[in-house]
Amino acid sequence: MDELYHKEESFDPETIGKLKGHYAAILCLLGEDVGREGLVKTPERVAKAMSFLTKGYRVDPLSILRSAMFREEYKQMVLVKDIELYSLCEHHMLPFYGKAHVAYIPNGYITGLSKIARIVECYARRLQVQERLTVQIRDCIQEALNPMGVAVVIEASHMCMQMRGVEKQESATTTSAFTGIFLSDHRTREEFMTLISHKYR
């Protein structure tokens, strides 16, 4: 069965080795025995997991958009909604997760739709706060495409509020960031908000 499954992952061996040592030390400090069967490979697994969860530091988001820019005279809203995102809160390094809704109004150039999702992924795969993440996505699209306006809304749940602290299981946080016509024209902003709240079947 193992011969039928081949998984490829790319990690820097030196970085993983150093992280592995630190996580082994952390487990010891917590009172665990890193030599027991269930934990022998845990420091390396966690090192690789953290490397994956923070892979956004090793990607240039502007280059993602600029690699797929096309001249187009379309001047209506382009919306990519319900983009799943998973990130780590920089305060406790616990996950927060949810959806991003991203729109822009082209000003001579459009980009591949998948690139919008990749921008969200790039910034989410870093230690974050939701407020900064929202602004970074907005600013990256504005800088790369120079559109007439950009709108970003993120709705997320934070494990640091659900697992620890106030332990409020149903809490959710919404953040928004706008530029250009989304700021100056309330009708355009309302159209965006209506579209992201509409559920397609």
Residues annotated as catalytic (active site), given as ranges: 89-92, 130, 158, 160
Comparing CA positions, the residue from 101, 89, 104 lying closest to residue 160 is 89
Q: Measure the CA–CA gap between 37 and 57, rounded to whole angstroms.
A: 33
CA dihedral over 57, 102, 94, 44, signed as positive or negative: negative
Q: Measure the CA–CA gap between 104 and 109, rounded to whole angstroms.
A: 11
Residues 6+ apart with CB under 8 A from 163: 94
Task: Please report which residue ranges of 54-155 form alpha helices under DSSP H.
Answer: 61-66, 113-124, 130-145
How many CB atoms are located within 10 Å of the residue 26 CB? 13
Token pair recorded at residue 15: 């970085």
Q: Measure the CA–CA gap between 145 and 122, rounded to whole angstroms.
A: 17
Are 100 and 128 within 8 A, CB to CB? no
Token pair recorded at residue 61: 């988001």
Are 174 and 191 within 8 A, CB to CB? no
